[in-house]
């Protein structure tokens, strides 16, 4: 079966790469995957993964909490408590970015629908795209959201949305160019594109290296840092307006990374290194464990 591999950098069009890290799939398979680095811009890509039609088996785990609702275990419990707070923070960012209190929003990779439900409850007209059948069923039963399967994204009406958002989703998408072109087509002339992704230039990424939870191979294909995300947006017809931190990710990712290392005193060490990462991001937002980028059409 053919594997999905990239030979031209989607950020700078470079064609020379070097080996960066070998990481383990700690969630599902315990398989090892190589991450390569573009020698021109430093962008990082997971190699030799399944194509988008066959990658689904790597998401079949109760541990993959972005597509489940389990609160079992301390880390999962913390995740869900933080998520509740972050839903309001995300909504306010959308309202400020779009300069409106209500409008039309498309959320791509909406998972179990918590964010879209937040937006709907505050009067937004919402559309969700989600690949997982189980996640769509959950969103329907829990929030009465009729989220659409992935293929419906390309059938939506042109210039229909004030905001398109992807919260930790872009790193999963195989066909970057096709999706970015679609986002541009679907956005109104003054629409905004909001993308949140992990940052491989953060303290926690540098500290944990192959154990950094946000490499999340093979589900995370692409690994961005701020300069690369800015360049990637510009290449695809967008201008970076602003970027914002996701400070809780520093702690969550650090605790999960310590778990992967099978460390003693996992919680203490995770909080310690999460604090260092968070403090570094106070001095430089571009060093946060995860970063939210706000783009407008160029």
CATH number at residue 202: 3.40.50.150
Tell me the pTM.
0.93
Kindly state whether residue 25 falls inside one of the protein's structural domains: no
Sign of torsion, CA 58 64 69 73?
positive
Q: Is residue 229 part of a domain?
A: yes
pLDDT in the model for residue 86: 87
Token pair recorded at residue 112? 């179990």
User: What per-residue confidence (pLDDT) applies to 85?
Assistant: 85
Contact 292, 228 (CB under 8 A): no
pLDDT at position 83: 76
Domain-embedded: residue 8: no
Encoded tokens for 26: 């700690």
Q: Could you give phi then psi for residue 84, rounded to 5 degrees?
A: -60, -45
Give me the pLDDT at residue 69, please.
57
* Dihedral over alpha carbons 96, 120, 90, 66 (to 10 degrees): -160
Domain that holds residue 175: 74-214+224-297
> Has residue 41 been placed in a domain?
no
Do residues 233 and 240 lie in contact, with contact meaning Cβ atoms separated by under 8 Å?
Answer: yes
Residue 131 has φ and ψ, to the nearest 5°, of -75, -40
Cα of 215 vs its chain's centroid, Å? 11
Residue 3: inside a domain: no
Is 69 within the bounds of a domain? no
Q: Under the phi-then-psi rule, with left for phi > 0, alpha for psi from -120 to 50, and beta for the rest, what region is 106? A: beta
C-alpha neighbours within 13 Å on the C-beta side of residue 69: 13
Tokens of 220: 């995370």
Q: Does 284 map to a domain?
A: yes
Residue 214 per-residue DSSP state? G
What residues contact residue 91 under an 8 Å CB cut-off, 6+ apart?
115, 118, 119, 122
The whole-angstrom separation of Cα 122 and Cα 96 is 14
**Residuewise pLDDT in 10s, the chain (298 residues):** 579 999 999 999 999 999 999 999 999 999 999 999 999 999 999 999 999 989 989 988 765 545 455 555 665 666 677 777 889 999 999 999 999 999 999 999 999 999 999 999 999 999 999 999 989 999 999 999 999 999 999 999 999 999 999 999 999 999 999 999 999 999 999 999 999 999 999 999 999 999 999 999 999 999 999 999 999 999 999 999 999 999 899 999 999 999 999 999 999 999 999 999 999 999 999 999 999 999 999 8
Cα angle: 150, vertex 104, 87; to 5 degrees: 80
The DSSP 8-state label assigned to residue 153 in this structure reads G
Query: Does any domain span residue 130?
Result: yes
Residue whose tokens read 């559309």: 127
- The total number of structural domains in the chain stands at 1
Please return the burial class of 88, using the count of CB atoms within 10 Å of its CB with bins 0-12, 13-18 and 19+: exposed
């Amino acid at each position: 079966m053919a594997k999905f591999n990239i030979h031209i950098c989607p950020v700078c069009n470079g064609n020379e790469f070097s080996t960066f890290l070998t990481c383990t799939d700690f969630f599902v398979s315990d398989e090892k995957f190589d991450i390569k680095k573009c020698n021109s811009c430093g962008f990082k890509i997971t190699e030799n993964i399944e194509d988008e039609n066959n990658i689904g088996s790597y998401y079949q785990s109760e541990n993959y909490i972005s597509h489940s609702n389990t609160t079992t275990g301390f880390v999962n419990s913390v995740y869900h408590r933080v998520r509740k707070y972050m839903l309001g923070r995300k909504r306010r960012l959308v309202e400020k970015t779009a300069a409106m209190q209500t409008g039309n929003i498309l959320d791509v990779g909406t998972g179990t629908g918590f964010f879209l439900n937040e937006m709907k409850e505050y009067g937004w007209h919402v559309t969700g795209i989600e690949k997982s059948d189980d996640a769509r069923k959950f969103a329907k039963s829990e929030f009465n959201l009729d989220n659409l399967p992935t293929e419906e994204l390309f059938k939506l009406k042109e210039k229909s949305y004030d905001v398109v958002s992807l919260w930790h989703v872009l790193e999963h998408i195989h066909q970057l160019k096709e999706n970015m072109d679609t986002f541009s087509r679907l956005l109104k002339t003054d629409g905004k594109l909001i993308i949140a992704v992990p940052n491989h230039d953060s303290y926690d990424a540098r500290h944990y290296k192959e154990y950094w939870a946000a490499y999340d191979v093979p589900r995370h294909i692409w690994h961005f840092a701020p300069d690369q995300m800015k360049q990637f947006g510009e290449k695809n017809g967008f201008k970076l307006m602003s970027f914002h931190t996701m400070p809780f990710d520093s702690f969550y990712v650090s605790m999960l990374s310590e778990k992967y290392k099978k460390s003693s005193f996992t919680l203490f060490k995770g909080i310690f290194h999460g604090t260092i990462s968070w403090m570094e991001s106070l001095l430089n937002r571009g060093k946060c464990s995860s970063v939210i980028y706000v783009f407008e059409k160029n």
